């Protein structure tokens, strides 16, 4: 990839067409298959994004009441979220403690087996 390719790749997202890149870079695109493919991808992307403006989205009828409810009860949700975090921390701590107990038990078993092996 040449320096021109790198510059074209950086500037393509900010222009409407290859002609807006300037004479030198537009001339490069005319001769570079890599940059032509990149320009084609951006043309397709712009075309599809332009098509989105024709799409009408309707919010579900429950959206506004749901938002109002959440705003009015945001303090309760924050407290509930803190409770979830505390429960997750407790679970993680107990899992770590369980792993430590298992590791200790494994070490004791290994030491016991080595001692039994050396004694034999
Ligand atoms: Zn190129």
Ligand 1 centroid–CA 2 distance in Å is 6
Over pLDDT 70: what percentage of the chain? 81
Is 53:27 a contact under the CB 8 Å cutoff? no
Q: What is the DSSP letter of 17?
A: S
Task: Name the phi and psi angles at 41, rounded to 5.
Answer: -65, -40
Residue 112 vs residue 45, higher pLDDT: 45
Q: What is the DSSP letter of 16?
A: S
Ligand 1 centroid–CA 27 distance in Å is 10
Annotate 41-97 with DSSP letters as a single string. Answer: HHHHHHHHHHHHTT------TTHHHHHHHHHHTHHHHHHHHHHHHHHHHHHHHHHHH
Is 44:65 a contact under the CB 8 Å cutoff? no
Is 11:25 a contact under the CB 8 Å cutoff? yes
> What are the residues whose beta carbon lies below 5 Å from ligand 1 (ion)?
5, 32, 34-35
Q: Is the pLDDT of residue 19 over 60?
A: yes
Q: What is the pLDDT of residues 26-51, one digit of tens each?
A: 999 999 999 999 999 999 999 998 88
Q: Against a cut of 0.75, is the pTM above it?
A: no
Ligand 1 centroid–CA 41 distance in Å is 14
Q: How many CA atoms lie within 13 A of 112 on its CB side?
A: 6
């Amino acid at each position: 990839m040449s320096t021109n390719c790198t510059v074209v790749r950086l500037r393509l997202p900010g222009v409407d067409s290859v002609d807006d890149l300037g004479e030198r870079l537009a001339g490069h695109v005319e001769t570079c298959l890599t940059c032509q493919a990149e320009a084609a991808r951006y043309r397709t992307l712009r075309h599809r994004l332009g098509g989105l403006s024709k799409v009408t989205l309707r919010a579900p009828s429950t959206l506004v009441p749901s938002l109002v409810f959440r705003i009015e009860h945001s303090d309760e949700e924050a407290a509930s979220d803190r409770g979830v975090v505390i429960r997750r921390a407790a679970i993680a701590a107990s899992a770590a403690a369980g792993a430590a107990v298992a590791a200790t038990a494994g070490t004791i078993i290994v030491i016991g087996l080595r001692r039994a092996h050396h004694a034999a």
